Amino acid sequence: MDSGVPLCGSCAEPVVFSSADGEVSVACRGCEYPLCRACLEDEIRVGRELCLRCGTPYGEKPVEHDAAVGNGSNMAALLNNDKDNGGHVRNLSSMSTVESEANGENPLWKNRVASWKEKKNKKKDAARKNAKETQVPSEQQMDNKQLPEAEEPLSRTIPISPNKLTPYRAVIIMRLLVLGLFFHYRLTNPVDSAYGLWLTSVICEIWFAVSWVLDQFPKWSPINRETYIDRLSSRFEKDEINELSAVDFFVSTVDPMKEPPLITANTVLSILAVDYPVEKVSCYVSDDGSAMLTFESLAETAEFARKWVPFCKKYSIEPRAPEFYFSQKIDYLKDKVQPSFVKERRAMKRDYEEYKVRINALVAKAQKTPDEGWIMQDGTLWPGNNPRDHPGMIQVFLGHSGAHDIDGNELPRLVYVSREKRPGYQHHKKAGAMNALVRVSAVLTNASYILNLDCDHYVNNSKAVREAMCFMMDPKVGTDVCYVQFPQRFDGIDRSDRYANRNIVFFDVNMKGLDGIQGPVYVGTGCVFYRQALYGYGPPSLPNLPKASSRSNCCCCRSSKKDSRDQKEIYRDSLREDLNSAIFNLREIDNYDEYERSLLISQMSFEKTFGLSPVFIESTIMETGGVQSADPSTLIKEAIHVISCGYEEKTEWGKEIGWIYGSVTEDILTGFKMHCRGWRSIYCMPARSAFKGSAPINLSDRLHQVLRWALGSVEIFLSRHCPLWYGFGGGRLKWLQRLAYINTIVYPFTSLPLIAYCSLPAICLLTGKFIIPTLSNVASIWFLGLFISIILTSVLELRWSGVGVEDWWRNEQFWVIGGVSAHLFAVFQGFLKMLAGLDTNFTVTAKASDDGEFGELYAFKWTTLLIPPTTLLVVNLVGVVAGFSDALNSGYEAWGPLFGKVFFAMWVVLHLYPFLKGLMGRQNRTPTIVVLWSVLLASVFSLVWVKVDPFLSKVDASTVAQSCISIDC
């Protein structure tokens, strides 16, 4: 500026042309807005032909000018992270908070929003055009030539074979009809001698039937998908110009004692070594426990990554988490032809062992906290010594201005983040930490996509990100996709999977079914998000709301016009109430009057929604990502500001944008809100599992994990976001998708009828009564038809899904085990929280860190969750013994009715058998406290039963009384 040459308003570079006379140019004739040639060509290339400042069309050629223009200062200018464009980086926006916003008079902001809206409309038109092209009749498509490589789809949908799916659907309908006939018989044939038992059983069976409908019909249209990674690479990685979208990885951790730093470090190393351009990858680690152990272990990890990352990429190592790579029991020389591989592998293994020793030394040092608190290496006090009261902390370990690997190549960015914590503030646990990462990453890197992982879920397939990009970056598929969900896979589980840790039925059956409707639910990890969807924006294909009719000047028709307009306004308001923020309806701007429009596009409305950070606000309207400042220290200060504990106050964070608050299962709630806005999701199951985690394999930890999930579902059921009544206004959630979400929030309540139903066999054996009267031939047909339809449904489901019988049976067993324990406690805790305000502490599931295979499988940890299923086991076994004793005393006539009762009781015992084995512990001996509690409860139950016996009919009672009186004692 001292030389009189203006700087480009977009990239902050001098606008002197490269011609011999060095003339200065401006792009706009109206306001003399300075724009260099490169930026002007970029503006015209993307279809923006209007000046961002005054709206005047750009001239055919830049207008020559010899004076400095543009006295406004950009809030954001330049960041040196997009070097693949020849070092030229565009600043997409200029925003000034000094100018008045009350009347919406900020021209830069107004033009930026107008430009953004114009781009949205172009995307919407392109989506409609693609939709029309896909509707061409098949006979016309045969005449078309083969698509060029640039237009070939990056993925395809593979429907389930009709030979498998048609019989499956037919059996579902048949089972529904049989259920109707079955309940007609049950309701019209009560058991008078045991009316209470009969009524209880019928109520339970009706609830089970409703639960089956909610679970079954969302699986009506399952699909498979296939991706083409080679097409993705050939389309977006050509001629040394990489156009793949950037991805920000989020890793969350809380307690390094329960989530060992070595496990977290392996996850980080697998991310840094992922098969993706390094300049497009950033890894953010959220330490919500502000532990110096996590900080120091990341410093060691960053140093080790300088050796590990080039080794993985040189030899195409899979998986790229060193702990799991070196522990593989396979031939590691397979497909390796480089003579130096063996030597380098041995050296790398030695380096990793030394690295593990350093990490373990840090863990041993952290076992005992010094009285004065932790001291960092520079002698200063660690700011996070008090996990509940500390400032925000950010440390960039690796990045574009940081270290390179041992070969001199660039490494992905690695950032440590610990948000501010202060007493008196609600921090919202994991959901709050994830929202803090969203804001930090937007300020520092602002990638278009976000991939979040738990600290124990490492990248098992280095091409997993490319798999997701085959959907996200395909213009014919990804326009309305909010996230791509990968299935969860686990290491360290015994072959029999005693406690159904793999959860195969859910991930390989239910999620495939949802993929054929509106998309799978978000399960908390292994998910690639479109950042704009997290900000609450709707998809480009979202239909506009109906415009209100203009007021007529005719007196005779004014009343009817007014009524019609009021109805449309009510409909529009209902949709706006569902979405709950004007920012989400930006594409419906044409339907509002001038006052509403001015509020909608004003910077003040963005601040009310996203918070008081101009840098972050500007990033929210940059659909293709990119960052906005040349000074890294300024960015760090802004990043510290957006993770302050009071930043989210009076904003929409956690209400309508980001991870949604109000439940410990924030994942289900967040995905549900996106689907309600019209987005859809995709389920991606690559041949090699994308991510793998460590499952809690002992019984107590598994039950606590299920308790946390069930409690979150109960919290959603009791909140305003309950799928039973939320999101009907927009009509954007498909009804089968709504059934699936209803199923995810009501399944814990099945514990109540399940407890009652599992108690009925013991009661029948102890009292000699039964819940079913003597069967007729017709009734036998209905019962037999019901059992056959249940078996056929399961068999055909396993046939199209590929799930094994053992996995299905383990799932059925743990459904009963979890239902009578964790789900029951979740229901009571949820109602206690709602009625009495008693909150439940979030318990982090311990992750295995020892090298012993299945070392904790038989470890027993006492918890109150074990009492109900243990009591059911004892009561049913006592009932079986009592039933056989009674049959021996009563003669052969009693053996027939005994068969049905014993079969009923053994059904309960077989389902609880894995629980019984886990109860034995490592020494195959049940702990004394469990025996005492269970025997005590069973004894009290039996004594009360003998005293009261509510299921004994009045006739039987009088007969017994008279017979007792007649006895001469």
- Enumerate the known binding-site residues for UDP-alpha-D-glucose: 252, 258-259, 288, 429
What is the amino acid identity at position 449? Answer: Y
CA distance 530 to 539: 11
Q: List, in order, residues 6 or more apart from 32 with CB less than 8 Å away.
A: 26, 63, 65, 69, 70
d(Cα 627, Cα 637) in Å, to the nearest integer? Answer: 15
Burial of 785 (0-12, 13-18, 19+ CB in 10 A): middle
Taking the C-alpha atoms of residue 364 and residue 501, their distance in angstroms, rounded to an integer, is 30
* 8 Å CB contact between 654 and 431: yes
Annotated binding site for Mn(2+): 430, 454
Residue 831: strand, helix, or coil: helix
Coil, helix or strand at residue 390: strand
Query: What is the Cα Rg of the chain in Å?
Result: 32
Which residues, at least 6 apart from 269, have a Cβ–Cβ distance to it below 8 Å? 301, 304, 305, 308, 309, 320, 321, 322
**At 713, which helix (H) or strand (E)?**
helix 699-717
Q: Is the CB of residue 523 less than 8 Å from the CB of residue 490?
A: no
Measured distance CA(873)–CA(913) in Å, rounded: 9
User: Would you tell me the crossing angle of helices 341-365 and 292-315 to the nearest 10 degrees?
Assistant: 170
Residues annotated in a binding site: 252, 258-259, 288, 429-430, 454
Q: Are 225 and 156 in contact, with CB atoms under 8 Å apart?
A: yes
Phi/psi of residue 311, each to 5°? -65, -45
Catalytic residue flag (residue 508):
no
Query: Which of the following is catalytic: 82, 456, 667, 807?
Result: 667
* H-helix or E-strand spanning residue 416: strand 413-418
Please compute, for residue 460, the number of CA atoms within 13 A of its CA located in the half-sphere on the CB side. 21
Active-site residue flag, 667: yes
Pairwise CA distance, residues 317 & 315, whole Å: 6
Whole-Å CA distances, 372 to 211, 256, 380, 382, 384: 56, 20, 12, 10, 13
Sign of the dihedral through C-alpha 810, 812, 815, 820? negative
Buried b / exposed e along 310-333 (16+ C-beta atoms within 10 A): bbbbebebbbbbbbbbeeeeeeee
563's CB contacts (< 8 A; 6+ apart) are none
Q: Which of 82, 248, 288, 701 is catalytic?
A: 288
Report which of 711, 234, 274 is spatially closest to residue 473, judged by C-alpha positions.
234
- Show which residues are catalytic: 288, 667
